[in-house]
């Protein structure tokens, strides 16, 4: 019974984390047709910025609860700055180029940003465990569980709903959906596609940075964390279907529970659980669960 509870909670927690890192990737692909490998670097930047900011914050000796406000501000500011810099600085010159070529472009960006991170923060590890320990434990079904982890689940749900609300209910979001459906017609109808692209890219980046920021207190922040994340995020969006936001949520749940089950039942296969899910899904639906059928062009 304890094991069952642990699987349920860990699966949910891991799924929430995966959703946070994968949803930005799928959003950017859905709107801009760019599979953004640099997403992993954005995640790493989030983690580093969070570690630095919290280091300064704790040195100042302010009340601990404010740390979460700092994390929020840092995620927004860093995400918007990095996202806009990359979009305005590089990507906008390459719109309309081949999708695969854009993978190479973002791969190049990933390499550049990875080294930029190393040059700014060095190669040593950073630790900021305080926010993780702040809330302490709560007992669920006899199992003590970190409240911070449950907060991440809540955050993922809130942000997921907010993103849905933005896309479905706001004016900007509806215009974005129109651009997804047909870029040229939307432009002809007077939608500023350039602005939609810049906004979407910034939002997607903010999600990646948030993923890094909330993870920073749980891990030692070291070079290389971005690469691991991008591979996992790929698996999630492939399962869900590239470009689909509900797909990212379902994909994250599949992958999260697959991993939680293997961690508790067959730890040796932890790594394969996610890829096994991916392989099974692709065998049944070659382009993911939520992928729209597309015609073949002659």
Partner 1 sequence: MMKTDFRREPLYIAILAGLLILGFFLPSWLRFLLQTAMAGGLVAVGVSLQMRAGLVNFGQGLYYALGGYAVGMLAAQAGITDIFLLLIAAVVVSTVAGVILGLLLSRYREIFYAMLSLAVSMILYGLLVKAAWLGSTDGFNIPSLSYLGWTPSRAVRPDVYYITTAILTVLACLATARYLTSGAGMLCEAVAENEIRLEYLGANPRKVAFIVIVVAAALSGLGGGLLAMSTGHVDPLMTNWTTSGGFVFVALLAGRGSTIAPMIGFFLLELVRNYALDLAPNAWQMILGAVMLMVILLLPEGLWSLVERRRKA
Q: Give every CB contact of residue 199 below 8 A, 6+ residues apart in sequence.
A: 172, 176
Q: Does 87 bind partner 1 (CB under 8 A)?
A: no
The footprint of partner 1 on residues 30-69 (CB under 8 A) is 35
Q: Does 231 bind partner 1 (CB under 8 A)?
A: yes
Binds partner 1 (CB under 8 A): choice among 62, 73, 99, 130:
99
Binds partner 1 (CB under 8 A): choice among 69, 85, 104, 266:
104
**Candidate segments 12-20, 136-144, 184-192, 233-241, binder of partner 1 by CB under 8 A:** 233-241
Burial class (CB in 10 A: 0-12, 13-18, 19+), 103: middle
Comparison of 43 and 234: residue with beta carbon closer to partner 1: 234
**Dihedral sign for Cα atoms in the order 91, 96, 99, 104:** negative
**Candidate segments 134-142, 145-153, 178-186, 230-238, binder of partner 1 by CB under 8 A:** 230-238
Shortest separation between residue 133's beta carbon and partner 1, angstroms:
30
Burial class (CB in 10 A: 0-12, 13-18, 19+), 145: middle
Shortest separation between residue 242's beta carbon and partner 1, angstroms:
7
Q: Does 107 bind partner 1 (CB under 8 A)?
A: yes
Comparison of 80 and 227: residue with beta carbon closer to partner 1: 227
Q: Does 275 bind partner 1 (CB under 8 A)?
A: yes
Q: Does 171 bind partner 1 (CB under 8 A)?
A: no
Give the footprint of partner 1 on this chain (CB under 8 A): 35, 90, 93-94, 99-101, 103-105, 107-112, 114-116, 118-119, 123, 227, 231, 234-235, 238, 242, 271-272, 275, 278, 282, 286-287, 296-298
């Amino acid at each position: 019974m304890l094991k069952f509870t642990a699987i349920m909670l860990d699966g949910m927690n891991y799924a929430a984390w995966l959703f946070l890192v994968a949803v930005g990737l799928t959003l950017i692909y859905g709107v801009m047709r760019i599979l953004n490998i640099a997403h992993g670097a954005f995640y790493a930047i989030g983690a580093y910025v969070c570690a630095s900011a919290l280091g300064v914050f704790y040195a100042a000796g302010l009340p601990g609860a404010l740390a979460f406000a700092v994390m929020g501000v840092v995620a927004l500011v860093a995400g918007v700055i990095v996202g806009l810099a990359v979009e305005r600085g590089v990507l906008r010159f390459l719109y309309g180029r081949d999708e695969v070529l854009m993978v190479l472009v973002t791969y190049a960006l990933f390499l550049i940003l990875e080294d930029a991170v190393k040059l700014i923060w060095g190669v040593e590890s950073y630790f900021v465990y305080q926010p993780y320990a702040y809330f302490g434990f709560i007992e669920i079904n006899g199992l003590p569980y970190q409240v911070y982890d449950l907060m991440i689940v809540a955050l993922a749900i809130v942000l997921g709903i907010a993103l849905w609300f933005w896309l479905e209910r706001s004016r900007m979001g509806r215009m974005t959906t129109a651009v997804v459906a047909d870029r040229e017609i939307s432009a002809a109808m007077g939608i500023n596609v350039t602005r939609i692209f810049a906004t979407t890219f910034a939002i997607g980046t903010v999600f990646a940075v948030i993923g890094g920021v909330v993870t920073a207190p749980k891990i030692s922040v070291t070079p290389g964390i971005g690469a691991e994340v991008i591979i996992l995020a790929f698996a999630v969006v492939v399962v869900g279907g590239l470009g689909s936001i509900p797909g990212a949520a379902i994909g994250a749940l599949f992958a999260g529970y697959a991993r939680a089950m293997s961690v508790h039942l067959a730890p040796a296969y932890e790594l394969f659980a996610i890829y096994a899910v991916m392989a099974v899904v692709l065998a049944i639906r070659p382009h993911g669960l939520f992928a729209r059928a597309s015609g073949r062009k002659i």
